[in-house]
Amino acid sequence: MALAIDHPLVRKYALQDDSLQEFIKRAEKLSEDSKEGYLLRQIKAQNPMTGSDIPVYVAPYVLGGYGYGAVMGCPAHDERDYAFWHENQPGAPVLPCVEPMDKSAGPFDLPFTAKDALMSKSTGEFKGMSAKDARIKITEKLQKGKLGGQKIQYRLR
């Protein structure tokens, strides 16, 4: 997960963390496509589906004025998230949750971004579902638990 430089949590922790203050100053000069991030060691997010901890970073590419100023990364299935993960977590495993429907093609490379995918790496009730069907079921489960829902948001530039 990555937070914008001007996110309220980032501002709060910057008051106590000199290294974070230095990163914020340096980040203002980084290019828009920079993958440099700052790990907020004091906090973790939690995946509501698995309960697993997720590291929280400050990243210059996250826009504070868009949405909530926070984005959830998926390094196994998005090229930019994959690059960010490898820059900030070198050597740490990338855990895919989907794989190609056609397994006869052999091993697949990450990031795996095909839409036609199978939830074979997933555990629990979504294992074996197509990624398309799993997205619907996961959204329904999050809505029931009042943890999220489906939303389409457009951004015009």
pLDDT for 40:
97
pTM of structure: 0.83
Q: Which residue has the tokens 């855990």?
A: 95
| pLDDT tens-digit series, residues 46-69 | 988 888 899 999 999 898 888 889
The confidence band for 123, taking pLDDT boundaries of 50, 70 and 90, is: low
| pLDDT tens-digit series, residues 89-114 | 999 999 888 888 887 777 888 988 88
The confidence band for 82, taking pLDDT boundaries of 50, 70 and 90, is: very high
126 with 119: CB under 8 angstroms? yes
pLDDT for 148:
81
The confidence band for 84, taking pLDDT boundaries of 50, 70 and 90, is: very high
Torsion of CA 112, 113, 115, 116, to 10 degrees: -20
